Amino acid sequence: MVRMESTAKICLVAGATRGAGRGIATALGEAGHVVYCTGRTTREHRSEMNRSETIEETAERVTAAGGTGVAVPTDHLDPDAVSALVARIRSEHGRLDVLVNDIWGGDSLFEFDKPLWEQPLEDGLRLLRLAVDTHLITSHRALPLLLENPGGLVVEVTDGTAEFNAKYRKECGPFFDIAKSAVIRLANAQAVEIGPLGGTALSITPGFLRSEAMLEHFGVTEENWQEGAAKDHHFALSETPMYVGRAVAALAADPLKERWNGASVSSGELAKEFGFTDVDGSRPDVWRYINEITLAGKTADTAGYR
C-alpha cells in the first residue's frame, strides 16, 4: 500500500457538472481537499446539453463528503473567463495543486457507426472545440499558477487507454476518436513540459461509467443498476463516477506521483495499485476485460473482472 499525503490541496475540476467530473470532485472532497467545481450549467442557466445537473450540486456534494466545494460558472472556451477563474484561486489560496481537465459536452454531437462524410460537420467541429480546445485553454491559463509550487498534478480525463485508442475507434466516428486521442496526447505534451519543473501530468480513463446519462439510457437507477446487464452484459462491469474520482484522489495523495508522469491509466488499474474500491466495495477493471477477453474473441464471466 502506497503511503498517502494528507495535507489539504487546492484543486480545480474543470467540467465538474456531472459524470466523471462530479465523481472526481466529490472524491477529492472525500479526501478533505478544497475543490473548485466549474462548468456551464447552474441553477439559473443550462448549457446546450440541457441536463438538470448543476455545478452547485456538485460543490455541495464535495462539502458533504468532507471537503470544501466552490462552484464557479465558467465557459472554458472563453480564455478571459478561465483567466478570471485562475485569478480567483490565486487570490483566495495563492496556489493550485491539482488541475483536472474533464470538459466534454459532446454526447449529442456525434453519431455511432457513421463515416466522416455522414457525420454532421458543424456538430463534429463543435465537439472538438468543447473536448479539446477547452482543455488547451484551461491548461494554458492554469499551469503558471500550478507550477509556482513543486508537486503539481494535471489529470486529463479521456475515454480509453493509449493502447486501446491507438487503433481507430470506427464505431464512434472520427470526431470522437480524435477528441479522445488528442486529450491523451495533450497529457503527454504537458508531461514533457512540466515534468522537469516538478509537475506531473497524465491521462486517465474510467471504465464503463454509470453516469447520470448512462443510467437513464439503460432505464435504471443507481439502486437497481444491475438490471442494465440484461440489455448489455458488459454493464455488469460498470462503475460509479466515484471510482475514477478515488483514482484521481489517490494520485493526488501519492508522494511519488512523478512516477506517473506521461502515463495513460485507467480507474481499474489504479484501484489495484492503491487499494481503493468503488462505493460497493468492488474493483471493476473493464479495460483489462476488453484487452484479455473482448479483443481476443474469448468468452468469460464478467464477475472475474469485478
Q: How far apart are the first and last CA of the chain?
A: 20
> Which tens digits make up the pLDDT trace of 130-150?
999 999 999 999 999 999 999
Select the more confidently predicted residue: 43 or 4. Answer: 43
The pLDDT score that the predictor gives to residue 83 is: 98
On whether residue 294 sits in a domain, the answer given is no
Phi, psi torsion values for 42, nearest 5 degrees: -120, 180
Q: Does some domain include residue 231?
A: no
CA 231 vs. chain centroid, Å, equals: 26
Span 20-29, average pLDDT: 98
Q: Is residue 293 part of a domain?
A: no
What pLDDT is stored for residue 210 in this prediction? 96
- The predicted-structure confidence for 200-235, as pLDDT tens digits, reads as follows 999 999 999 999 999 999 999 999 999 999 898 889
Cβ count near 104 (within 10 Å): 25
Q: Is residue 301 part of a domain?
A: no
**CATH number where 204 lies:** 3.40.50.720
Cell numbers linked to 233: 452484459
φ and ψ of 69, to 5 deg: -95, 135
Judge whether 288 lies within some domain: no
Per-position b or e across 16-39, b if 16+ CB within 10 A of its CB: bbbbbbbbbbbbbbbbbbbbbbbb
Q: What is the pLDDT of residue 7?
A: 83
Query: Could you give the C-alpha distances from 53 to 70, 77, 295, in angstroms and in order?
Result: 15, 20, 35
Work out the pLDDT band at 52, boundaries 50, 70, 90. Answer: very high
Percentage of the chain beyond pLDDT 90 is 89
Q: Is residue 292 part of a domain?
A: no
Q: What is the pLDDT of residues 65-93, one digit of tens each?
A: 999 999 999 999 999 999 999 999 999 99
- The pLDDT of residue 2 is 43
Look at residue 302 in the predicted model and tell me its pLDDT: 83
Has residue 43 been placed in a domain?
yes
String of DSSP letters for 257-288? GGGGTT-EEEHHHHHHHH----TTS----HHH
Q: How confident is the model at residue 5 (pLDDT cuts 50, 70, 90)?
A: low
Are 127 and 110 in contact, with CB atoms under 8 Å apart? yes
Domain span including residue 276? 10-220+240-282
Mean pLDDT (whole number) for 170-182: 96
**Residue-wise DSSP of 59-104:** HHHHHHHTSEEEEEE--TT-HHHHHHHHHHHHHHHS---EEEE---
- pLDDT (mean) for 152-180: 96
Of the candidates 162, 171, 183, the one whose C-alpha atom is nearest the C-alpha of residue 264 is 162
What does the pLDDT read at residue 233? 86
pLDDT of residue 99: 99
| pLDDT score recorded for residue 3 | 46
98-101 vs 264-266, strand pairing mode = unpaired
Query: How many distinct structural domains can be found in the chain?
Result: 1
Going by pLDDT thresholds of 50, 70 and 90, the confidence category of residue 6 is low
Q: Return the C-alpha cell found at 137.
A: 485553454
Task: For residue 80, give Cα distances in angstroms to 38, 84, 89.
Answer: 14, 6, 14
- If you compute the radius of gyration of the chain from its CA atoms, what whole number of angstroms results? 18
The number of beta carbons lying within 10 Å of the beta carbon of residue 233 is 11
Give the rounded percent of residues in the chain with a pLDDT score beyond 70. Answer: 98
In a domain, 148, yes or no: yes
Average of per-residue pLDDT values in the chain: 95
